[in-house]
Amino acid sequence: MDYLNKLSKSNGPIHNAVDLIQKLPITNRLTDMYKRSSKNELYFVGAATFITLYNLASFIQEKRQKLNLPPTVPFGLPYLGHGLYMLFMPKTFLDWCNSRYGEVYNLKVRGKIITVTNGKCGEESLKADREDLSLDHGLVRDTLYFQYVFEPRILEIGADITSVVAKIAVANSTMPRYVSGIQKGLETAQDYLLKEKVNVLDHPSAFFQRFVSFMSVPTLLGEEFASNIEVIESFASFTGDIIRNIPIFMLVPTFLHRPLLPYIQSPKKHHAIMEKHISPVVRQRREIMRLAKESGEDHGLEQTFLQGLIEYTDADTNGYTYSDKEVAHAVLMLAFVSAHTTSTNLSYSIYWLLARPDLMEKMMAEIESIAPGNTPIDVEILNKMTFLNNFMREELRQSAGNLGVGKKAMEDFTFSNGYQVPKGRMVESSTRQLNFGTNSIRSEVEDMDPDMSKNRTATTPAKDYVSFGMGKHLCPGRFFATQEIKMSLIYLLRNFDIKTVSGKKPTPMRRIAGTRMTNSEEPLIFTAKK
């Protein structure tokens, strides 16, 4: 109490401090300015002060880190940071940043600092170990919010298992045995999706997702699912349903996400469908395997991706194997990595051919000379089609986003040039820059040039071809994906005359959020040739 009395006395320290401030010349000037200024001028000065203090705070916070942090590109707007540049002029802005700040620098986007890598550091982020830079904790959790869709256990080990199984189930050497399954899938897809003489597709991306799933489901899961429409539809639409929720999660604060889930989540319905159809098959196959083991015989089950998931045993977790229910959910993980990626690239290919009649002409000429009429397609024929290969490689290069493959630093991470990013930081690779040298080069429709592939195969990664990633996380599904896309193109172009409903040349790809690529939604007409 004594202390409070002392403070409030007329000659106490608070009074003295107020007196001193009042006597300062700056105080008089500020009071004068306040009295003379209009309301709008005061708002303006207030906002400017806020922005300056905010930027100063971020600057001091960064400087306090003991790491050798990459340079942060200066920004003026507190929350938006560089967001508007990224939205409206991503190519020019990123090229300017790359040339001025080098291979690794920071940008501020929607209130967060992200690190952008290009050149050698871009390669290093693509090649990094999952324990250092993780796609699962980056794109998969921080952007797609998979933690709301999968149980923690599937999320923890799912990516590893899917990758291990994929390396065996869809290895390059297995491709010949997938040819007939893909061919059957194409025919079933036509029966369901293109059964009229004239088929108008108002929602082409949904069509391409279903089209690809008609091929992928029986080949990757097994013949018993070849005409299981519920499974095929679920496989096709799972990723789209997840992507649809992203804008909501971006707008709503994280603590409100979970209460919101019952109102927006449809991914749970996919779990129910997979449990209904996949789990009984898993139990059946496990019984066959058990009996075969008892009698010392080979179980003779087809080595599909699903079979790989069933047989997978993790030596690191005391021989842990997936339960029937977990296998069903893991199939959705497979749908995520395979259906959307393959269908968007099939769609890009069709739209590129429609946008560039000269390329369509070359493609048709190659089909007619190497696989005319109903010539059955096999791997040998595919290998002979050099234009098709070159076109695919270039289409995949063109489809890389300005930023992509967002990975989160699991620990402080050091690049070979000495720059470091702190644990928890999102690292985005400039994938288009890696493919082409800059973001702007060859970005016009007329610049698409399959000859640039120089007969290098569409499945072999290179410094200027990172569309399937690089290093140990290089996409193991690339052989399967390119085979499906190539066979689909031959099948569709041999059997249908494809045009846009508008009759105009389409734009092959759209940009979303400035830096990501997505497929065109320009309605299409498929007219059967016979």
User: Which residues of the shown chain bind ligand HEM in the complex (CB under 6 A)?
Assistant: 126, 135, 162-163, 166, 170, 337-338, 341-342, 345, 405, 467-469, 473, 475-477, 480-481
Please report the sign of the dihedral spanned by the C-alpha atoms of residue 169, residue 174, residue 175, residue 180.
negative
Least distance (Å) between residue 481 CB and ligand HEM = 4
The separation between the first and the last C-alpha atoms of the chain, rounded to the nearest angstrom, is 99
- Give which of 306, 495, 516, 514 is closest to 405, Cα–Cα: 516
Least distance (Å) between residue 341 CB and ligand HEM = 3
List Cβ neighbours of 506 (8 Å cut-off, separation of 6 or more).
351, 354, 355, 500, 520, 522
Residue number, 106 or 162, with CB nearest to ligand HEM: 162
432 vs 465: CA distance, rounded Å:
9
Residue number, 69 or 458, with CB nearest to ligand HEM: 458
Contact assessment for residue 426 and residue 151, using Cβ atoms and an 8 Å cutoff? no
Least distance (Å) between residue 432 CB and ligand HEM = 13
Crossing angle of the two packed helices 25-36 and 13-23, in degrees rounded to 10: 70
Residue number, 72 or 118, with CB nearest to ligand HEM: 118
Residue number, 135 or 154, with CB nearest to ligand HEM: 135
240 vs 347: CA distance, rounded Å:
15
* 3-state SS assignment for residue 321: coil
- Cα–chain-centroid distance for residue 522? 22
Residue number, 436 or 468, with CB nearest to ligand HEM: 468
Residue number, 145 or 480, with CB nearest to ligand HEM: 480
Least distance (Å) between residue 59 CB and ligand HEM = 32
Least distance (Å) between residue 81 CB and ligand HEM = 25
Chain position carrying tokens 């309605």? 523
Residue number, 75 or 123, with CB nearest to ligand HEM: 123
DSSP 43-87: HHHHHHHHHHHHHHHHHHHHHHS-S-PPPBPP--STTTBTHHHHH
Residue number, 174 or 386, with CB nearest to ligand HEM: 174
- Give which of 193, 235, 242, 230 is closest to 213, Cα–Cα: 235
Please report the sign of the dihedral spanned by the C-alpha atoms of residue 345, residue 347, residue 348, residue 352.
positive
DSSP label at residue 24: S
Least distance (Å) between residue 126 CB and ligand HEM = 5
Residue number, 73 or 170, with CB nearest to ligand HEM: 170
Least distance (Å) between residue 363 CB and ligand HEM = 18
Residue number, 277 or 473, with CB nearest to ligand HEM: 473
- Cα–chain-centroid distance for residue 64? 33
Least distance (Å) between residue 193 CB and ligand HEM = 20
For ligand HEM, the nearest residue by Cβ is: 477
Region for residue 300 given its phi and psi (left: phi exceeds 0; alpha: psi -120 to 50; beta: otherwise): left
What separation in angstroms does the CA of 428 have from each of 298, 338, 407, 449, 524?
46, 21, 6, 27, 34
Least distance (Å) between residue 342 CB and ligand HEM = 5
DSSP label at residue 137: I
- Give which of 205, 124, 18 is closest to 409, Cα–Cα: 124
Backbone angles phi, psi at 196, to 5 degrees: -85, 165
Least distance (Å) between residue 400 CB and ligand HEM = 9
